[in-house]
Amino acid sequence: MSGRENRGAGRIEAAVEKIRSEDRVGLMTHIVLGYPSMEESMKLVETMAGCGVDFIEIQIPFSDPTADGPVITRACQAALDGGVRVQDAFEFMDAVSGRFELPFLFMSYFNIAFAYRQAASGGRGGADGVAGFAAAAAAAGSSGLILPDLPPEMVREGYKAACGSAGLHPVYVVSPNTGRERLEVIAEAGSGLLYATSRTGTTGKEMELEMRELTGFLSLARETCGMPIAVGFSISRREQVESLRGHADIAVVGTHFIRVWEEGGREGLKAELKELTGA
């Protein structure tokens, strides 16, 4: 995979342009790689892509997923117990980005990149790890990276430069209590998309979107950052997706689809995807 131009470059921009031209809210789905197995992960991507989702977020499992609720935390631990490693993620990304034209993004935590060792170049983690991780992610076809525990005020270990050199978008996560000053820092540090949570806390908690507070924040975020906005956390119904129309470009659904897959398998997931996309 090394030395190859990133096939994922430009896919985020193309997907956002398509969504806006069709005057709709796009859909980003989420899988935990290796849960419940690598084979099932591929079936999940096939189903999601076949149902017309706009983006797919591939989570590299980590032992302490601090931004995630119990469902995704459990899925991460099961994947790790099953032996999933970072190299598996690169190989999986290489396969899916070659089969499907939509943008795929890696989601994980900063320690995964910081500790990455690229054997071929003798990398030892740290700045070498970050650069090696970004290069490998790009070579596999990732369009961007989402590391929710990396503060934008701390451009640590050359992260922004590593993403820029690799042709990856560093996508930052913000919540409705993020102020203008911090959003201005993110506008300089990030690119491609802004990932906004619908509330504070972790993923997966059942609660209604607080639309008055959220839409005010999204307006501030769009004005300050000038990036397309994806909104995640607690989205599980079509009316919630539609409530974002005019305020955000993309709805992100993760925990809900894990539950649907566990309960209804592939056919259940297809039905739910059609419901959320309005297909």
Q: Provide the CATH number for the domain formed by 11-277 in this structure.
A: 3.20.20.70
Residues 134-162: pLDDT tens digits? 999 999 999 999 999 998 876 656 889 99
Whole-number average pLDDT of the chain: 89
Alpha carbon 174 to its chain's center: 13
Contact between 61 and 34 under an 8 Å Cβ cutoff? The reply is: yes
Catalytic residue among 54, 57, 157, 272: 57
pLDDT, mean of residues 111-133: 72
Catalytic residue among 68, 88, 157, 272: 68
Q: What is the predicted pLDDT for the residue at 25?
A: 97
Pairing of strands 104-107, 144-146: parallel
Q: Is there a catalytic annotation at residue 57?
A: yes
Cα(23)–Cα(20) distance, rounded to whole angstroms?
5
Q: Concatenated DSSP letters for 194-259?
A: EEEESSSS-TT------HHHHHHHHHHHHHHH-S-EEEESS--SHHHHHHTTTT-SEEEE-HHHHH
Residues 189-214: pLDDT tens digits? 999 999 999 865 444 444 455 677 88
C-alpha distances out from residue 236 to 44, 204, 242, 254, 273, Å = 17, 9, 11, 9, 10
